[in-house]
Amino acid sequence: MDYDDRRRYRRLKLLTTIGPTLFVAVAETVRFFYLRHILPPASVSMVAVVVTLVGAAGFSSYIFDVIEKMENERRAYQDAMLALQERERLAREMHDGLAQTLAVINLKVYQAKTLLDGNRWDELRKELDDIRAAVNKSYSEVRQSLYDLRAGKRLEEGFWTAVRTLANDFQEGARVSIEVKALPHDEVPWNDMASVQILRIIQESLANVRKHAEAQHVKIAAELRNDIVELKVIDDGKGFEMGTGPMNHHFGLGIMQERAQTFGGRVSIYSQLGQGTTVTITYQTDRDKGGEVGGKSKNYVSG
């Protein structure tokens, strides 16, 4: 919470503390010194009741409007920060992946030209195979990045449809088999804002699998028990030793946690060397409100 937010909350607290008391004091003063001299007692009581009800309703409506505006501003700021982090992540991936691959391709093209000038055909064929493999890798990375940017719009087709599309695209690009186990009847016990962030967390998890895990199979599975949803991304890759690797850097756990916090969830990662990695998204639903938190919105966040 920044300085402006703290200042506005202090003003709101002061207003809710002093406002009703001041309103009652003014109303009682008017009633005692003015209304009771010009109206019958019954009419004075009726006017006091009506004025109190209208004043209380107006004051409550104003307070809730202010709180809603502050909350919307907070969410907009948080969404903007997450979108900025997403763009920074994509830029970092392009620098660490695509830029380095292009540099390797450039070097290999120079080597291929040298081999061609020397009529070293067998070595040239091998070099060309390496160049083709590097180009295919770059294509896959660019294709995945473009899909990541479009994923928010795909949520208009439904959350689990977007997850299955993401899984199919990952399977084609990474050559890793993937299984999706949705909740029964494709239930989505959270609001649209949560859907965006959960999908982004799944994207980040799959990106980690593609870059680090060397996995053969991935499973995305959701389960609802006692109003608590657990959505897991499980791979059978090489894993890592918990507490020894740069988990926050390579696996983006900090960004995942920030995304989860926007809808009241949390993220945890468990891994063992040679036993794969599991990313778990945990979220407690509100069944009395149909799993909704803050209502539904069709404004999908791009970041």
pTM of the model: 0.56
Per domain, the residue ranges of the chain are: 3-72, 158-303
d(CA 281, CA 230): 6
pLDDT in tens, 180-219: 999 999 999 998 878 888 998 998 899 889 888 889 999 9
pLDDT of residue 302: 37
Contact 78, 255 (CB under 8 A): no
The predicted pLDDT at position 202 comes to 93
Q: Report mean pLDDT in 10-residue bins for the chain, 303 residues.
A: 69 82 82 79 81 83 84 77 68 68 85 87 87 80 66 76 89 88 93 86 88 91 92 93 56 77 89 92 70 37 39
How are strands ordered across the β-sheet holding 266-272?
177-181, 217-225, 228-235, 276-284, 266-272
Residue 48: which of 21, 33, 28, 20 has the closest Cα? 28
Q: Dihedral, CA atoms, 96, 102, 104, 106, nearest 10 degrees? A: -150
Q: Which residue has the tokens 């809603």?
A: 68
Cα dihedral 297, 300, 301, 303 sign: positive
Q: What pLDDT is stored for residue 251 in this prediction?
A: 54
The C-alpha atoms of residue 205 and residue 214 are separated, in whole angstroms, by: 13
Spatial distance between the Cα atoms of 301 and 83, rounded to a whole number of angstroms: 8
CA 225 – CA 263 distance, rounded (Å): 19
CA–CA separation, 222 and 233 (whole Å): 9
Residue 217: the pLDDT is: 95
Please state, in angstroms and rounded to a whole number, the distance separating the CA atoms of residues 209 and 167: 12
Query: CA torsion sign, 24 to 26 to 28 to 31?
Result: negative
Nearest to 51 by CA among 69, 32, 72, 30: 30
pLDDT tens-digit profile of 238-256? 988 876 544 444 556 777 8
Residue 139: per-residue pLDDT: 75
Report the CATH architecture of 158-303. 2-Layer Sandwich (3.30)
